[in-house]
Structure 1
Amino acid sequence: MAATKAEQENSKIPGSTSIETAPSLDAPVVAQRVGPMEVLRIPDFRWMVFASVFMVFGFEARAAVQSWLSYNLTGSQAWVGIVNGVPSIAVIALSMVGGLAADRFPKRDILLVVRMAIVAMSFLTGYLIVSDLMTVWILLALALAQGSIVAFGMPANQSFVVELVGRDKLMSATSMMQSSGMIGLIIGPAVTGIMIGAWGAGSVYFLVGGLGVIGVVMLMMVKNRSVHRSDDSKSAWGDIKDGLNFVRSDSVIRVLMLLNLLALFAGFIMPLIPVYAEDVFNVGGEGFGLMMAAFGTGGALGTLVLVFTGDKVYKGLLMISTGALFGVLMIVFAFSREYYLSLVLLGLMGATGLAYVITISVLVQSHTPDEMRGRVMSLFGISMQLFALGFLFSGLIAEATSNELALVVGGVGVAVPPLMAYMFSAELRGVS
């Protein structure tokens, strides 16, 4: 397609930002055969993948050290759940605003601002720890601030990939992004455990900040895409209502969003991993890091399988089976007293959990029109944040009753609804 006159003139302005038109999103998927590695031939997508490795490493390392730090500051499962779960409230409150921004402004610019703010927060947190100024209340305040920042950028991050690669490569691209991010999920917690034991929790935050800077530089290499605007004359609230109405009126999207609410119960496992490491298996910080790394390794292997097979499998059945299996594995983990068996269980949970999330994400994006994608993915992000809110409920239940009961509640909550939805929803059985 020939460039418009305005675009041609803008390209001649020294120092102007290059904005490219997104690849066609409306071409039939059957129009070409897409190899699993085809997406890596797109330069901007390659930079996104590289940036994702560093950013996810930082995110997972920060999540791990935050859980460890909150438990060691208080000795309370409830506080682990509070520090990790309360920030999800900020995400739920601000995600629709972030989704509206993603539909109105260049997504790469939004991501740059968000990630630079997260880098600054990491350095600040590290300074407070090494200066012996950290308390659990300050840690909670910092977690809330970070949750607000993440909320604003999440819809842009989730909906940018399809603009880089097009719908026909979306499953492979999404799986590739998750798989590359799993490198951080594998290495991040393991390195976190080693660094906590050797130099303290503050060193982890400084490492996270440094790697975040590298990720920001790589993201700068990605060119902006044009923005698909639906109606500039509408108010922000009018645009948000349009997004809500679309989700409510589309039967497939509605069922998928409801199933994504199961993230609340899936999150029950995470705040209890440091508790099991410290009180059940007595393996300390390094053992805790290996447990988190096992979860990440399973996730990486699962997403790698989807890179090669995701566009060929029946996605509805894949989503149901992986969701149900995740819940069963959580219940088995609850009663395991063998450390190495628990590592295997966590690995399998990582594989099934990530496959479930990726499949729902791809189905939601592929069934959503371009001009609605930011707002719809913001709602998807809200439901995903229930995963973190599950930290809160899990910690409270475990504190009041037992670790085992908390995990059984979570496992049943994850396993049963997908099976029921598959039995009673014709829309879900027909989705592909």
Structure 2
Amino acid sequence: MIPVPAAAPHDPYAALKIPEFRLFVLARLCLSLALQMQAVVVGWQIYSLTKDPLSLGLIGLAEAIPAIIVALYAGHVADNNNRKIIILTCVLVLLACSVALLVYTLPVSRGVLQQFGVWPIYLVIFFTGIARGFNNPAVFSFMPQIVNNKQLYGNAVTWSTTTSQGASMAGPAIGGLIYGFWGVTASYTVVVVLLFLATLFFLLISAKPLPPSQGRLPIKESLLSGLRFVFNNQIILSAMSLDLFAVLFGGAVALLPVFASDILHTGPQGLGFLRAAPAIGSILMAVFLTHRPVKINAGKRMLLCVAGFGLCIILFGLSTNFWFSLVLLGLSGAFDSISVIIRSTLMQTLTPEHMKGRVSSVNNIFVGSSNEIGAFESGFAARLLGVIPAVIFGGCMTLLVVGVTSWKADKLRRLHL
């Protein structure tokens, strides 16, 4: 009998051994830190000016609408143009938007907010949404070109997610603390510095040639091809849909300034820790998954984790204890991390290289923008039902979505990686 060679041992740090991937991770860390800090500062600033939970939802809407509008075209651009140039352009636009927010806080410009209210801030967030709409497909499709080894995609996705969630953990806490102790101007100054560093790290990564394709399609056909690919693949479609509705209805993050101010009474410092709690759970789970990647029963685990996320949101809505709320948000982040990593790994491995920008753009419509649309839904529901009933309703809807998806998407339910 011919002996079967032993499988190569799993290396949890394989992707990090690639020098340009390390630069990519550092750039994403600075970019995510900046955007997370900016989100918590803008949320607290606008709520302090308006005292209206709906105004928090409008922040998400102001960013989601332009991102959705440009999404399909952004995917087409990412698949047909130098992805590094796209990323650098988008980061520079984000840098300019953060500089504008900083300028609004200076004495010379405070009359702008006094005259027009918070609408100038919403306008800046609108342009931020456009930049993020173009940036996300380019970053998603640029990463596999840096790794250049399909066997490492899962490991690279896990580390990229870990970095992003680590920034989500630290960013809100840092933003809340700086805002609480040194004010809004200092907070936006740190954001500007981080975006400048992200620009430098992206500059150090060499440009990559576009992957070969079957020829340049007419723009209409190119825009629709990503949609066709997703809707003809039940596994990717059901995974995207599950995250879409879970985030749409189960996101309580947009209402955290209300909980911090009026329910848990913690101030901006506490808000930073509340915003960081889901990312703490997420990064701990992501680090665990680098050593123990999900392979068997991945679909069932994804469904169970989204259900666990919904249950945590319901209990968070009922909690009046700051520490218990932190634990629940941390658990929600851990459950969400598993779902995100499975979905991202599926997209990277099942999507052809020359279509990754367009498929990523569809994902941004489904999932990326659902965070912002979910923020609007949460703010609207809070205005209509009250803050606590709105959060409980969202968690219950998440559980309902899991049940329907489990019933309808049999391929996802039986999925193994």
User: One fold, TM greater than 0.5?
Assistant: yes
1:83, 1:246 → 2: CA distance?
32
Q: Which of residues 158, 165, 178 in structure 1 aligns to 2:140?
A: 158
Using a 3 Å threshold, how does the CA distance of structure 1 residues 34 and 227 change in structure 2: closer, same or farther? farther
State the TM-score, normalizing by the size of structure 1: 0.89
Range with bigger deviation, 227-236 or 88-97: 227-236
Residue of structure 1 equivalent to 2:305: 322
Residue of structure 2 equivalent to 1:411: 395
Q: What amino acid does structure 2 have at the position aligned with 1:419?
A: G
Match runs of 1:18-417 below 5 Å:
33-131=9-107, 132=110, 133-134=112-113, 135-165=117-147, 166-266=149-249, 268-384=251-367, 385-417=369-401
Query: How big is the shift at 1:231?
Result: 4.3
Q: What amino acid does structure 1 have at the position aligned with 2:385?
A: T
2:169, 2:230 → 1: CA distance?
35
CA contact (8 A) 2:277 2:326 kept: yes
Q: What amino acid does structure 2 have at the position aligned with 1:374?
A: G
Q: What amino acid does structure 2 have at the position aligned with 1:404?
A: I
2:204, 2:296 → 1: CA distance?
33
Aligned residues: 403
CA contact (8 A) 2:62 2:123 kept: no
1:310, 1:109 → 2: CA distance?
33
Query: How big is the shift at 1:396?
Result: 1.0
1:411, 1:146 → 2: CA distance?
29
Using a 3 Å threshold, how does the CA distance of structure 1 residues 295 and 258 change in structure 2: closer, same or farther? closer
Using a 3 Å threshold, how does the CA distance of structure 1 residues 265 and 413 change in structure 2: closer, same or farther? farther
1:127, 1:87 → 2: CA distance?
20
1:344, 1:408 → 2: CA distance?
17
CA contact (8 A) 2:250 2:391 kept: no
Q: What amino acid does structure 2 have at the position aligned with 1:348?
A: L
Range with bigger deviation, 147-156 or 406-415: 406-415
Query: Cα deviation per residue 1:160-188 (whole Å; 9 max; x = unaligned)?
Result: 22222232112221111121223322221
1:283, 1:311 → 2: CA distance?
37
Residue of structure 1 equivalent to 2:3: none
CA contact (8 A) 1:294 1:344 kept: yes
2:36, 2:256 → 1: CA distance?
14
CA contact (8 A) 1:107 1:160 kept: yes
Using a 3 Å threshold, how does the CA distance of structure 1 residues 233 and 103 change in structure 2: closer, same or farther? closer
Query: Cα deviation per residue 1:266-313 (whole Å; 9 max; x = unaligned)?
Result: 563011111010001111111111111222211211211122222544
Query: Cα deviation per residue 1:369-393 (whole Å; 9 max; x = unaligned)?
Result: 1121110111001112112101111
2:216, 2:144 → 1: CA distance?
26
2:288, 2:303 → 1: CA distance?
17
Query: Cα deviation per residue 1:229-284 (whole Å; 9 max; x = unaligned)?
Result: 53444211111122222222222222223223225435630111110100011111
2:335, 2:122 → 1: CA distance?
30
Q: What amino acid does structure 2 have at the position aligned with 1:278?
A: S
CA RMSD of aligned residues (A): 1.8
Using a 3 Å threshold, how does the CA distance of structure 1 residues 267 and 330 change in structure 2: closer, same or farther? closer
CA contact (8 A) 2:382 2:390 kept: yes
2:8, 2:73 → 1: CA distance?
36
CA contact (8 A) 1:36 1:172 kept: yes
1:244, 1:32 → 2: CA distance?
37
Range with bigger deviation, 195-204 or 151-160: 195-204
2:27, 2:175 → 1: CA distance?
20
Q: What amino acid does structure 1 have at the position aligned with 2:52?
A: S
State the TM-score, normalizing by the size of structure 2: 0.92
1:413, 1:234 → 2: CA distance?
40
Residue of structure 2 equivalent to 1:11: none
Using a 3 Å threshold, how does the CA distance of structure 1 residues 110 and 280 change in structure 2: closer, same or farther? same
Using a 3 Å threshold, how does the CA distance of structure 1 residues 233 and 180 change in structure 2: closer, same or farther? closer
Q: What amino acid does structure 1 have at the position aligned with 2:135?
A: G
Query: How big is the shift at 1:405?
Result: 1.6
Residue of structure 2 equivalent to 1:10: none
Query: Cα deviation per residue 1:371-424 (whole Å; 9 max; x = unaligned)?
Result: 211101110011121121011111111112211221122112222222332233
Residue of structure 2 equivalent to 1:16: none
Query: How big is the shift at 1:430?
Result: 2.9
Using a 3 Å threshold, how does the CA distance of structure 1 residues 117 and 86 change in structure 2: closer, same or farther? closer
Work out the percentage of aligned pairs sharing the same amino acid: 27
Query: Unaligned stretches of 5+ in structure 1?
Result: 1-29
Using a 3 Å threshold, how does the CA distance of structure 1 residues 355 and 311 change in structure 2: closer, same or farther? closer
1:244, 1:167 → 2: CA distance?
23
1:411, 1:208 → 2: CA distance?
32
Runs of 4+ in structure 1 displaced over 6 angstroms?
Answer: none
1:271, 1:103 → 2: CA distance?
33
2:13, 2:234 → 1: CA distance?
33
CA contact (8 A) 1:155 1:378 kept: yes
